[in-house]
């Protein structure tokens, strides 16, 4: 037993509701040495989380470990009884979940939850555990390490909560920590701090780790070795440098190339339309009861003006909570703006969707981030695409059927998919249906609210390519809202940076206009690069970080 | 691991070819309900004695060749009375539960979609209605208006509307927060379309389950009202009334009091078995 972890020929299978068996993991072997961090990378459904969970001898409900062996620190997790496994979990192998916010109990203080592990396993007295927790808080560079433990989970930020859940994992002095996409839900500016904290603690303690992620750039910063997975099989294994500079497997190359930003070719300057398609002037929108001055209590968007030319795209970027989604909702009329003018195609629009005509509604469509909730799970793809055709165009059944085929072709979905329900489609397919529904209305402008952020890199790149093609064919304009700079750069002619509800800067990437505003500079420099030394070499002005990051 | 195997096997055995999975417990429940429904429809053709006729010379007679389920406190044939009673119990309850669930669910969905003052008004009004104890409400209405079958049906449905409303509204509010509803709203859809095509298909499963439970409550309340003498009036009797009439036979262990009770139990239990094991559509069609 040379290695800390030895996974040999692991097979995990699940039984579907018709009694059919599906192999999820098809014979995977992975080794992890002491103190080594190994990344499992792959698209969703590639089995990366399933493998990570078998390290704790756990298979999710409906799944079972069908063959192979998993040994951690000389113990075979397969042959241990449930009681023995429970003893190993939390002391030798620990887990940091993707969403720390969902993993904490909102009704108990953070300290009580962090030291719970030591209480369950009887590792140390509560006082010792508290002292150890404070040490860990300090090591993870959390603010006010002495007192942060007495707060409740809602009183700290998302990035802090993620580090606190790492403290919870580390307090039992584990040999192996499993990180399950711990930074996926965080903003780029926050992500840096969390990654740094994880890296320094792991290196200092010589703890081995498994880092599950779909983001190659993040993984490059923290992992020693990378295992590339697809469809439950290992595609390629190598050190981080090998994988990044000398990938052998075609799938790995695809992953890498999906990461390379393909800057958008400058749109022809001749196409400068006389009047912009959409013009927004001094828009204010927000939530809560309106105050005496007629403005809402919490203003999420303050005094934003922007315009979109015909056939050109506008990108809106900013961290979560900067008001970019609220801006989209105000433009679409879902959340009526309190102040401001929205001029679309030469006419001023009503602030609320109810005040707009059916044609005005038709010409501006919105596509939401989560295709899971944006598609009615009880309806087939056919029914979903059918409704806008009836509603806006009043087509007869035959014309609709032809048009649905056309729409499916447009978004590159096979026609036989039309009878399926959303639950039977993959994430990328759902997002395409979501987009096809917007296209069914024959719009002039499509508001895309973070449409790629729930997708894997490879799938997201394909969706972006699709959007570009459709723009060429149909002459659409997009407003593209995202927190991911590389996505926005790939498709937009102009970029608006938002911070705290205000527009801080306009950037035109085609003219290679570097960001001037300090926040834009910070945001642009925080995007991880495919370079293992990037995080260590990154230097950001601490003044700037303090001013703009609510870490 | 053995459990997974047996589950797989059971699913295959009971899996019907239509693409639905329906397990054996649910089928048993359904067949008992169907039996009672058939009995209710064909009761006049199959009863051995007229309902009101005093056929036995003895009262609380035992089970015999002539009187399969014994006789009641007047010497009437129990089998005939139970078979005829099925008409009242199953019929009134079914009508009442349909009215209650339909109105409750429609109002609940409208309240959830419309929101604002309409939601507040409806919710508070139905909450107020809900605060009246159901038996007391039944007693008062029946005492005031008199007992007839339409009055019974309406009273029972009014008692159960607030519950159905609350249930449907709670489900619909969750669905209403989803993005596909927002998409439909900014498409310009009407409230009717929203509740019929977007919300109802997503809550129909729990709503049907709720309908099953409410059916059972209504059977029990109707039996309770009849037990108090406010339900179906003599010489006819629903199952609850049969229990009340013959309660005097309890010390003698007379079949006349046991069998109506068993009938109530069999119907309510099988409805519950059915709704807990409704056929499920198999979503995995890769085979």
Instruction: For A206-241, write each residue's pLDDT tens digit.
Output: 899 999 988 888 888 888 999 998 888 888 888 888
Q: Is B151 exposed, middle or buried (0-12, 13-18, 19+ CB in 10 A)?
A: middle
Q: How far is A432 from chain B, CA to nearest CA, in Å?
A: 15
Contact A19 B182 (CB under 8 A): no
Assigned domain for A266 exists: no
A295 with A230, same domain: the answer is no
Confidence category of residue B227, pLDDT binned at 50, 70, 90: confident
Give the CATH number of the domain where residue A122 resides.
3.40.50.300
Q: Give the total number of structural domains in chain A.
A: 2
* Residues shown for chain B: 287
CB contact under 8 A, A19 and B15: yes
State the residue range of the domain holding A484. 273-513
- pLDDT at residue B148 tops 80: yes
Same domain, A317 and A230: no
Residue-averaged pLDDT of chain B: 84
B252 Cβ under 8 Å from any chain A Cβ = no
Residue A271 has pLDDT above 80, yes or no: no
Closest residue in B to A63 (Cα) is B4
Maximum mean pLDDT: which of A57-71, A334-348, B116-130, B258-272: B116-130
* Domain contains A434: yes
pLDDT category, B109, cuts 50, 70, 90?
Answer: very high
Percent of chain B residues topping a pLDDT of 90: 27
pLDDT at A512 (0 to 100) = 61
| Mean pLDDT for the stretch of residues A518-533 | 80
Same-domain pairing of A380 and A453: yes
Helix (H) or strand (E) holding A287, with range, is strand A278-290
Mark whether A71 and A204 lie in a shared domain.
Answer: yes
Give the closest-approach CA distance of B10 to chain A in angstroms.
9
Mark whether A139 and A286 lie in a shared domain. Answer: no
What does the H/E/C string look like for A456-491?
CHHHHHHHHHHHHHHHHHHCCEEEEEECCHHHHHHH
Q: How many residues does chain A have?
A: 551
pLDDT computed for residue A203 by the predictor: 86
- Tell me what pLDDT residue B284 has: 56
Q: Among A374, A379, A392, select the one facing B179 at the smallest CB separation.
A: A374
Which DSSP state fits B198?
Answer: I
Residue B7 has what pLDDT? 43
Cis peptide before A494 (omega within 30 of 0): no
pLDDT band at B5 (very low <50, low <70, confident <90, very high): very low
Domain with residues B50-272, CATH architecture: Orthogonal Bundle (1.10)
In this structure, the answer to whether residues A225 and A84 fall within a common structural domain is yes
Q: Is A217 helix (H, G, I), strand (E, B) or coil?
A: helix
Whether the per-residue pLDDT at B169 is higher than 50: the answer is: yes
If asked whether residues A184 and A280 sit together in one domain, one would say no
Q: How far is CA A102 from CA A149, A162, A178, in A?
A: 18, 11, 17
Predicted-complex ipTM score: 0.72
Residue A47 in domain: yes
Which H or E run includes A10?
A: strand A5-15
Cα nearest neighbour of B287 on chain A: A20
pLDDT band at A482; cut points 50, 70, 90? confident
A:B CB pairs within 8 Å: 78
Using pLDDT thresholds of 50, 70 and 90, give the confidence band for residue B168.
very high
Show residues of chain B in contact with A368, CB under 8 Å.
179, 182-183
Predicted confidence band at B13 (pLDDT cuts at 50, 70, 90)? Answer: very low
Q: Which of B12, B186, B202 comes nearest A378 by C-beta? A: B202
Q: Per the CB < 8 Å rule, is B202 touching A423?
A: no
Tell me which chain A residues have a C-beta less than 8 angstroms from the C-beta of B182: 334, 368
Compute the average pLDDT of residues A300-311: 86
Domain stop point among A255, A289, A312: A255
| Neighbour-count burial for A216-227, b at 16+ CB within 10 Å, e otherwise | bbbbbbbbbbbb
Q: Name which of A288-302, A507-521, B114-128 the model is least confident about.
A: A507-521
Task: Please tell me the least confidently modeled range out of A4-8, A287-291, B44-48.
Answer: A287-291
What letter does residue B233 receive in the DSSP assignment?
P
> Do A322 and A243 share a domain, yes or no?
no
Alpha helix positions (H), chain B:
2-14, 24-46, 78-114, 116-130, 134-145, 149-176, 179-187, 191-193, 200-227, 239-245, 255-276
Residue A177 is assigned to a structural domain of this protein: yes
Tokens encoding A551: 């870490």
Within a domain: A335: yes
Read off the pLDDT of each residue in A391-413 and give the average, rounded to a whole number.
89
C-alpha span between A26 and A29 (Å, rounded):
10
For residue B283, the chain A residues in CB contact (below 8 A) are 17, 421, 423-424
Alpha-carbon gap, residue A104 to A107, rounded angstroms: 9
| B contact residues 268-287, partner A, Cβ 8 Å cutoff | 280, 282-287
Query: Are residues A391 and B283, on separate chains, in Cβ contact within 8 Å?
Result: no
Q: What is the DSSP string of A260-277?
A: S--PPPPPPGGG--SS-S
pLDDT of residue A63: 82
Handedness of CA A57, A59, A61, A66 (dihedral sign): negative
pLDDT tops 90 at residue A470: no
Residue where a domain terminates, one of A255, A281, A301: A255
Q: Of B113 and A451, which is predicted with more confidence? A: B113
Same domain, yes or no: A62 and A109: yes
Same domain for A301 and A213? no
CB A192 within 8 A of CB A161: no
Pair A400, A507 in one domain: yes
pLDDT higher than threshold 70 for residue A69: yes
Does residue A229 share a domain with residue A137?
yes
Q: Is B16 exposed, middle or buried (0-12, 13-18, 19+ CB in 10 A)?
A: exposed
What pLDDT is recorded for position B240? 81
In a domain, A536, yes or no: no
Angle (CA) A184 A152 A192, round 5° = 30
Tell me the pLDDT band of B287, cut-offs 50, 70 and 90.
very low
Residues of B in contact with A342 (CB under 8 A): none
**Structural domain includes residue A261:** no
Q: Answer whether B151's CB lies under 8 Å from B233's CB.
A: no
pLDDT at A133: 92
A-chain CB neighbours of B198 within 8 Å are 376
Beta-carbon contacts of B46 under 8 Å, excluding residues fewer than 6 positions away, are: B39, B83
Distance from CA of A368 to the nearest CA of B (A): 7
Residue A157 pLDDT > 90: no
Q: What is the side-by-side order of every strand in the sheet holding A339-344?
A: A296-308, A278-290, A339-344, A347-348
Closest partner residue to B187 among A64, A373, A391, by Cβ?
Answer: A391
- Nearest CB to B21 within list A17, A20, A373: A17
Across the range B212-218, mean pLDDT stands at 85
Check A18 against B282: CB less than 8 A apart: yes
- Residue B179 is nearest to which of A20, A368, A423, comparing CB atoms? A368
Q: Report pLDDT digits (tens) over A18-62.
A: 677 888 888 888 889 888 999 998 877 788 888 888 888 888 777
The DSSP 8-state label assigned to residue B48 in this structure reads S
Distance to chain A for B141, nearest Cα, Å: 41
Nearest CA in chain B to A422: B283
pTM: 0.74
- Using the Cβ of B192 and the Cβ atoms of chain A, whether some distance falls under 8 Å is answered with no
How much is the mean pLDDT over chain A? Answer: 84
Percent of chain B at pLDDT > 70 equals 91
| pLDDT band, very low/low/confident/very high, at A528 (cuts 50, 70, 90) | confident
Inter-chain touch B179–A333, beta carbons under 8 Å: no
| B202/A377 CB distance under 8 A | yes
Rounded Cα–Cα distance for residues A273 and A281 (Å): 19
Residue ranges per structural domain of chain B: 50-272
CA-CA distance, B234 to A533, in Å (whole number)?
Answer: 92
> Which range is most confident: A293-307, B6-20, B98-112?
B98-112
Chain B, nearest residue to A19 by Cα: B8
Query: Which of chain B's residues have a Cβ under 8 Å away from the Cβ of A424?
Result: 283, 285
């Amino acid at each position: 037993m040379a290695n800390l972890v030895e996974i040999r020929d692991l097979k995990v299978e699940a039984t579907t509701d018709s009694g059919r068996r599906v192999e999820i993991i098809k014979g995977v072997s992975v080794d992890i040495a002491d103190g080594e961090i190994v990344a499992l990378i792959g698209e969703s459904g590639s089995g990366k989380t399933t493998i990570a969970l078998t390290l704790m001898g756990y298979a999710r409900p409906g799944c079972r470990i069908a063959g192979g062996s998993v040994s951690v620190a000389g113990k075979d997790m397969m042959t241990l009884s449930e009681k023995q496994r429970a003893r190993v979990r939390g002391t030798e192998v620990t887990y940091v979940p993707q969403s720390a916010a969902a993993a904490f109990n909102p009704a108990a203080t953070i300290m009580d939850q962090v030291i719970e592990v030591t209480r369950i396993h009887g590792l140390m007295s509560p006082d010792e555990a508290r002292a150890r927790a404070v040490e860990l808080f300090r090591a993870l560079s959390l603010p006010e390490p002495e007192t942060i433990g007495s707060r409740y989970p809602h009183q700290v930020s998302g990035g802090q909560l993620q580090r606190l859940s790492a403290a919870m994992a580390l307090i039992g002095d584990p040999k192996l920590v499993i990180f399950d996409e711990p930074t996926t839900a965080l903003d780029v500016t926050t992500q840096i701090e969390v990654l740094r904290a994880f890296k320094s603690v792991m290196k200092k303690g010589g703890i081995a780790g498994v880092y599950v992620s779909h983001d190659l750039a993040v993984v490059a910063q923290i992992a020693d070795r990378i295992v590339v997975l697809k469809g439950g099989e290992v595609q390629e294994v190598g050190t981080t440098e090998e994988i990044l500079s000398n990938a052998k497997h075609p799938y790995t190359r695809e992953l890498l190339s999906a990461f390379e930003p393909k800057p958008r070719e400058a749109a022809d300057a001749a196409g400068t339309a006389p009047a912009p398609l959409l013009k927004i002037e001094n828009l204010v929108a927000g939530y809560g009861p309106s105050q005496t001055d007629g403005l809402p209590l919490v203003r999420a968007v303050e005094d934003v003006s922007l315009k979109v030319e015909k056939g050109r795209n506008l990108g809106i970027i900013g961290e979560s909570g900067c008001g970019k989604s609220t801006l989209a909702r105000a433009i679409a009329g879902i959340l009526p703006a309190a102040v401001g003018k929205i001029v679309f195609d030469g006419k001023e629009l009503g602030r609320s969707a109810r005040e707009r005509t059916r044609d005005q509604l038709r010409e501006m469509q919105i596509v939401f981030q989560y295709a899971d909730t944006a598609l009615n799970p009880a309806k087939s793809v056919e029914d979903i695409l059918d409704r806008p055709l009836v509603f806006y165009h009043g087509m007869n059944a035959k014309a609709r059927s032809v048009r649905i085929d056309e729409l499916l072709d447009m978004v590159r979905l096979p026609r036989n998919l039309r009878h399926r329900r959303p639950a039977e489609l993959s994430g990328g397919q759902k997002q395409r249906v979501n987009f096809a529904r917007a296209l069914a209305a024959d719009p002039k402008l499509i508001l895309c609210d973070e449409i790629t952020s729930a997708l894997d890199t490879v799938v997201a790149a394909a969706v972006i390519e699709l959007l570009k093609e459709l723009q060429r064919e149909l002459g659409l304009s997009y407003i593209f809202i995202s927190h991911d700079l590389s996505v926005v750069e790939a498709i937009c002619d102009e970029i608006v940076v938002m911070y705290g509800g205000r527009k801080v800067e306009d950037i035109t990437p085609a003219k290679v206009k570097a960001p001037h505003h300090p926040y834009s500079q910070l945001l642009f420099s925080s995007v991880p690069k495919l370079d293992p030394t990037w995080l260590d070499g990154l230097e950001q002005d601490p003044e700037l970080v303090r001013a703009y990051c609510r870490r | 691991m053995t459990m997974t195997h047996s589950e797989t096997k059971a699913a295959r055995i009971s899996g019907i070819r239509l693409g639905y999975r329906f397990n054996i417990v649910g089928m048993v429940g359904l067949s008992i309900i169907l039996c009672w429904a058939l009995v209710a429809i064909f009761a006049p053709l199959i009863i051995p004695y007229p309902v009101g006729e005093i056929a036995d010379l003895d009262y609380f007679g035992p089970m015999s060749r002539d009187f399969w389920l014994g006789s009641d406190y007047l010497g009437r044939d129990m089998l005939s009375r139970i078979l005829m009673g099925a008409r009242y119990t199953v019929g009134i309850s079914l009508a009442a539960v349909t009215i209650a669930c339909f109105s409750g669910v429609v109002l609940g969905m409208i309240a959830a979609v419309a929101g604002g003052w309409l939601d507040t008004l409806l919710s508070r009004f139905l909450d107020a209605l809900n605060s009246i104890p159901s038996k007391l409400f039944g007693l008062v209405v029946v005492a005031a208006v008199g007992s007839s079958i339409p009055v019974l049906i309406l009273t029972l449905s009014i008692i159960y509307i607030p519950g159905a409303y609350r249930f449907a509204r709670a489900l619909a509010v969750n669905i209403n927060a989803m993005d596909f509803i927002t998409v439909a709203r900014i498409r310009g859809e009407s409230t009717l379309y929203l509740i019929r095509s977007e919300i109802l298909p997503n809550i129909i499963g729990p709503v049907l389950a709720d309908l099953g439970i409410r059916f059972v409550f209504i059977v029990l309340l109707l039996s309770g009202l009849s037990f108090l003498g406010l339900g179906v009036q003599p010489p006819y009797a629903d199952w609850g009334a049969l229990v009340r009439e013959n309660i005097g036979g309890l010390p003698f262990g007379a079949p006349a009091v046991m069998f109506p009770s068993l009938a109530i139990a069999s119907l309510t239990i099988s409805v519950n078995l059915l709704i807990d094991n409704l056929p499920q559509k198999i979503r995995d069609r890769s085979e």
